[in-house]
Amino acid sequence: MEAGGEECCLTPLTLLILCTNGVMWWYRGRRGVSWSLALLLTGVMLSALVCPGCWVVLLVSVVCSLVHFSAGREEAVLPAQGRAVLITGCDSGFGHDLAKLLARAGMKVYAGVLDGSGPGAEMLRTVSSQLTVLQLDITDVNQTLEAHQLIKSQIGDTGLWGLVNNAGVLGFTCDGEILPTRMLRKVLQVNFISTVEVTRAFLPMIRQAKGRIVTLSSVAGEVPFPGFAAYGASKAALNLYFGAMRHEVARWGVKVALIQPGSFKTKILGSQEEWAKVQEEILRTLPVEVKATYGEEYISSMKDRLSNMTAHACTNLEPVLHDIKHALLSESPRLFYHPGPAAWALPFTQRFCPTWLFDAIFKKLVLNHG
């Protein structure tokens, strides 16, 4: 194709710029006006340098950068005061830090914990009068009912503004054939079934407030990580269920958001002692033929995955907390949030790459890395 007397590969360059701008789009919620202007200037210069005669490419870059400029502007944020939120799984990790963050911001926070007398619960009780700690094992229907009755008696006709489904378990990272069925059922029960039951219990109060449902999913719910078959299946189920629910509850003004973090260091990974017990159960109950196929050395090495994951996990939980708060209080929350390193890159690559290419990239970046 001729453009200004010079040969120009319009389609590849246009696609390159669109992809680059698409990647940057993911960061629009955290970048200010100055960043958007920088994108605009960079896009213009790159287009001019790479293909100076192709005005169409230049125009595409300018338009995309202007979209970033518009999307990166200050968003309208709702006031935190006077709004109530229930967060599950607040003993530690995301839920614990989020409960403190939102209470200090002025929200009325109900923090559900698995261990009401544990150190996490005791610490939360000292944070603020805005924070109420609830004994809430989400797999216990009676505890869910008690929490529902307490919250309803305190918030009255105002309704519950937000529900953050944070409680979850990892289980044990091992091949799907080896994972004990007992643990598979537990992971699905906690991460999916019980999360859905809690949501259904509190949905009338959320509908009353025209509020928000925010659910912690995972990159493993989109990308099939070896060793995470059960955990990934439970998170994939959440993605589909709450994706459908987003359409179903929109008629009442209720908004639904999914948070898909990358690798962050929380206590969901468990401890070496817990993993050693599961490994012992696997070696004791696995059929002889299967045990011989995999070998005891391979099965015993699985507990080392905990050390590998812990070593490479991000310790700064701020990106996740920022996105959850945005999903709760932004006037225009998104359906999916991808906080953390590679949280969007791996699903994006899997979605648009040929399978053989994705497998090669995945093996190089993830499997060999561990």
pLDDT at 166: 96
* Domains of the chain in sequence order: 2-71 (no CATH), 84-367 (3.40.50.720)
C-alpha distances in Å from residue 205, one per residue of 99, 141, 154, 161? 20, 17, 12, 8
pLDDT at 344: 78
pLDDT at 254: 98
Residue with tokens 């906690």: 190
Tokens (6 digits) for 343: 């949280």
pLDDT at 74: 54
State the Cα–Cα distance between residues 19 and 273, nearest whole angstrom. 45
pLDDT at 59: 59
Residue with tokens 């378990």: 169
Report the chain (370 residues): mean pLDDT per 10 consecutive residues.
Answer: 44 54 49 50 56 55 54 72 96 94 96 95 94 97 97 94 95 86 93 98 97 95 89 96 97 96 71 77 89 89 69 77 96 90 79 85 66
Catalytic annotation present for 298: no
pLDDT at 165: 98
* pTM score of the predicted model: 0.78
pLDDT at 45: 58
Containing 134, the helix (H) or strand (E) segment is strand 131-135
Tokens (6 digits) for 103: 């209470």
pLDDT at 28: 47
Of the residues 110, 231, 241, 337, which is catalytic?
A: 231
Tokens (6 digits) for 5: 């007397």
Tokens (6 digits) for 291: 């045990």
Give the orientation angle of helix 229-249 with respect to helix 181-188, to 10 degrees: 20
What phi, psi does 153 have (nearest 5°)? Answer: -70, -25
Give the 3-state secondary structure of residue 162: strand
CB neighbours of 110 closer than 8 A, spacing ≥ 6?
84, 85, 86, 87, 132, 134, 147, 150, 151
